[in-house]
Amino acid sequence: MKRRMWYVGVVAVLVVTSSILASSAGARTLVGPEASVTGITPTHVVAGQRVTIYGSGLAGKTSVMFGSVPSRSVIADPGGTWIRAVVPTGAPVGKVPVTVSVGGASMSNLVLQIGAGSVPAAANRPPSTTSPNSHVKVVVAPRIIGFSPIMGQVGARVRIMGANLNGAQWLKFGGVRAQIMHSSASSIIAVVPKRAHTGKINVHTRGGTGVSTGVFRVLGPSAGA
């Protein structure tokens, strides 16, 4: 009887030990580099623009949600330092939480200001993997943080301040394309065009389109003529 009880006890210990080892082995299989996100740029966008999310451990199968709407175009840096995603049509307007999922783990400590309207979806080409040591240059969308003066007549010169403004391909006052007199990374000088409308200022570069939060007021009878 004692021998049988001893045998049962040994078997139980072996079963428990095997379960613990199997669980540990499974945990080691599932655990990878810990992913984290540290920021997003630009922080003010409209649907169709591309955003870059920075962090670590971001390589692998990823997805990005803008509110409850998933991006249909997401690529990740093979080195795990960034993710690029195009803001989807249908994303909510306002301050929207951005949720990043990497390998089943979700992070949602980012907030993005999405404005009304949209632009054609930005190209989101995958990075080159021909060389493991190649550096991928990320082109980010322009951002308008202000302009001066805040109102003026057709023909007036306006200074637009912001970031990533160099290489501006076009700039519009209320939807009407303006002449760009000067362009740098931090500012653009443009002329209020004929038939300009009171409205927001838009600027477009290779990185996408930036939209001002403020409205430029066009003065005089030409403001909608």
CATH number at residue 174: 2.60.40.10
The string of pLDDT tens digits covering residues 89-98 is 999 999 999 9
Residue 15: strand, helix, or coil: helix
Quote the pLDDT of residue 124: 78
pLDDT above 90: residue 70:
yes
Distance in angstroms (rounded) separating the CA atoms of residues 114 and 128: 30
Residues 153, 189 share a domain: yes
Find the mean pLDDT for residues 129-157: 75
Q: Number of helices (H) and strands (E) in the chain: give both, helices first.
A: 1, 18
Residues 174, 217 share a domain: yes
Residue 186 CA to its chain's centroid (Å): 20
pLDDT above 80: residue 161:
yes
What is the model's pTM? 0.47
pLDDT above 50: residue 172:
yes
Non-local CB neighbours of 170 within 8 Å, separated by 6+ positions: 177, 180, 203, 204
* Domain containing residue 198: 143-223
Residues 92, 49 share a domain: yes
Residues 181, 160 share a domain: yes
Q: Are strands 157-163 and 143-148 parallel, antiparallel or unpaired?
A: antiparallel
Query: Would you say residue 134 lies in a domain?
Result: no
Find the mean pLDDT for residues 44-49: 89
Q: What percent of the chain has pLDDT over 90?
A: 44
Distance in angstroms (rounded) separating the CA atoms of residues 110 and 177: 33
Residues 83, 9 share a domain: no
Q: Are strands 157-163 and 170-173 parallel, antiparallel or unpaired?
A: unpaired
Residues 180, 165 share a domain: yes
Domain count, the chain: 3
Quote the pLDDT of residue 138: 56
Residues 213, 194 share a domain: yes
Which has the closest alpha carbon to 161: 152, 173, 174, 149?
149
Query: Would you say residue 162 lies in a domain?
Result: yes
